[in-house]
């Protein structure tokens, strides 16, 4: 007698844009998982034949074609198509490891106050001997040429790549040291998460509005994390849930840095008290100044200031208090990392140390250029319909 089929509890939503080869490899790894999760690919208006390749190579995968590149908001389209109670998010260069998805579903079933769980992210490319995945070398728009998939999964050891020899993502190491109380919980409580390495309640994600299109990509999860915390949902870091990240060489590090700085400022002014928003702004602008991107960065920040301030709702005091505790750990970790770079004789660190005048000049430039922006922001807050609590320190 056949056993009843167990319906999947978690769908995997993979977001992609113009990374056809990386995506095909990632989808093959996900489909090779023993739990066989439903996979939903959201193609953000790729021009390299990504959508056609997915349709040809993986007919069982749900393909969502976005007519525009929505950035992180493309994940919203995938969640709307999901038919499982939970959704796991993945980038086109990350994949969930065996057992992680059913374990996440079990945790969310058992702890109804937990809105999402964030996985431990491991970085690197495992050795092929551990169970490799090789691309079929398709040209843009080409089909699978007689194969059921464009990817050949090498069998032998595990069906998916092992995690031996990988290193933890710095964000995962930081989450593991969260200072928030974990009484009776199966993981460390968080006030932030990684968008491409979490499992969330589908209906909750949709009810919260998903990701804002205005942020595009880069730190887009910060606003959602704040709003989840304000609504008293818990977020947990669970180290026994593992995602492997194989960073794509197609990443645009400069653009991503600019977006991270812009979005950090926007989120700060949308949700943090005045003193914290000012500090976040100063740190983000200093980062832009060091990269020689201050003028462009300020312009991008200003362009969104109207809607950002119109939607300003300061977080509850308890959430702000916890966020400050988490920030203390993050800043201490960052300071220790910079000190370690100096101890290792990092060329970049030595350059900054050897030229303090240039660093000071950059800081002065940052402060001078930021002053009109900060003054204008405060004036708009005072002149608008903001409540007194919105300006509390």
Q: Is residue 26 a contact partner of residue 93, using CB atoms and an 8 Å limit? A: yes
Domain extent for 51: 10-245
Tens of pLDDT, residues 91-123:
999 999 999 999 999 999 999 999 999 999 999
Please indicate, yes or no, whether residues 194 and 262 belong to a single structural domain of this protein. no
Q: In the predicted model, is pLDDT for residue 35 greater than 80? A: yes
Helices (H), 272-293: 274-290
Q: In the predicted model, is pLDDT for residue 150 greater than 90? A: no
Please indicate, yes or no, whether residues 43 and 185 belong to a single structural domain of this protein. yes
* Number of CB atoms found within 10 A of residue 367's CB: 14
- The total number of structural domains in the chain stands at 2
Residues 242-248: what's their mean pLDDT? Answer: 93
Q: List Cβ neighbours of 256 (8 Å cut-off, separation of 6 or more).
A: 217, 218
The CATH number given to whatever domain includes residue 115 is 3.90.550.10
Residue 74: name the closest of 12, 18, 15 by CA: 15
Least confident of 32-46, 155-169, 172-186: 155-169
- Which of 203, 218, 245 is a domain's end point? 245
pLDDT of residue 3: 57
Asked whether residue 4 is assigned to any structural domain, the reply reads no
Least confident of 82-96, 103-117, 125-139, 171-185: 125-139
Q: Is residue 153 a contact partner of residue 133, using CB atoms and an 8 Å limit? A: yes
Asked whether residue 1 is assigned to any structural domain, the reply reads no
pTM, two decimal places: 0.83
Please indicate, yes or no, whether residues 178 and 318 belong to a single structural domain of this protein. no
Quick one: pLDDT band at residue 18, thresholds 50, 70, 90?
very high
Q: In the predicted model, is pLDDT for residue 387 greater than 50? A: no
């Amino acid at each position: 007698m056949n056993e009843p089929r167990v319906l999947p509890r978690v769908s995997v939503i993979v977001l992609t844009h113009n990374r056809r080869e990386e995506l095909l490899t990632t989808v093959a790894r996900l489909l090779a998982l023993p739990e066989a999760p439903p996979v939903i690919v959201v193609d953000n208006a790729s021009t390299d034949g990504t959508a056609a390749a997915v349709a040809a190579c993986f007919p069982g995968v749900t393909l969502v074609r976005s007519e525009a590149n929505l950035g992180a908001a493309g994940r919203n389209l995938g969640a709307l198509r999901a038919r499982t109670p939970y959704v796991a998010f993945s980038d086109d260069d990350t994949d969930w490891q065996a057992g992680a998805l059913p374990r996440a579903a079990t945790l969310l079933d058992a702890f109804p106050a937990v809105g999402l769980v964030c996985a431990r992210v491991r970085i690197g490319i495992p050795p092929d001997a551990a169970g490799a995945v090789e691309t079929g070398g398709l040209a843009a728009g080409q089909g699978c040429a007689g194969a059921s998939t464009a990817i050949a999964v090498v069998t032998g050891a595990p069906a998916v790549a092992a995690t031996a020899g990988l290193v933890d993502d710095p964000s995962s190491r930081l989450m593991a040291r969260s200072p928030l109380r974990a009484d009776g919980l199966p993981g460390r409580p968080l006030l932030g998460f990684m968008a491409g390495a979490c499992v969330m309640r589908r209906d909750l994600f949709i009810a919260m509005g998903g990701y804002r299109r205005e942020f595009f990509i880069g730190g887009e999860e910060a606003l959602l994390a704040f709003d989840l915390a304000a609504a008293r949902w818990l977020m947990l870091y669970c180290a026994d849930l593992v995602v492997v990240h194989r960073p794509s060489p197609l990443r645009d590090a400069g653009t991503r840095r600019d977006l991270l700085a812009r979005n950090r400022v926007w989120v700060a002014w949308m949700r943090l008290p005045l003193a914290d928003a000012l500090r976040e702004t100063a740190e983000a602008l200093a980062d832009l100044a060091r990269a020689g991107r201050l003028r462009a960065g300020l312009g991008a920040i200003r362009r969104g200031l109207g809607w950002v301030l119109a939607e300003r709702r300061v977080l509850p005091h308890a959430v702000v208090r916890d966020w400050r505790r988490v920030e203390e750990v993050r800043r201490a970790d960052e300071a220790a990392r910079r000190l370690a770079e100096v101890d290792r004789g990092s060329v970049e660190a030595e350059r900054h140390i050897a030229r303090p005048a240039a660093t000071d000049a950059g800081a002065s430039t940052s402060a001078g250029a930021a002053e009109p922006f900060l003054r204008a922001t405060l004036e708009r807050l005072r002149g608008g319909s903001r409540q007194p609590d919105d300006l509390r320190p």
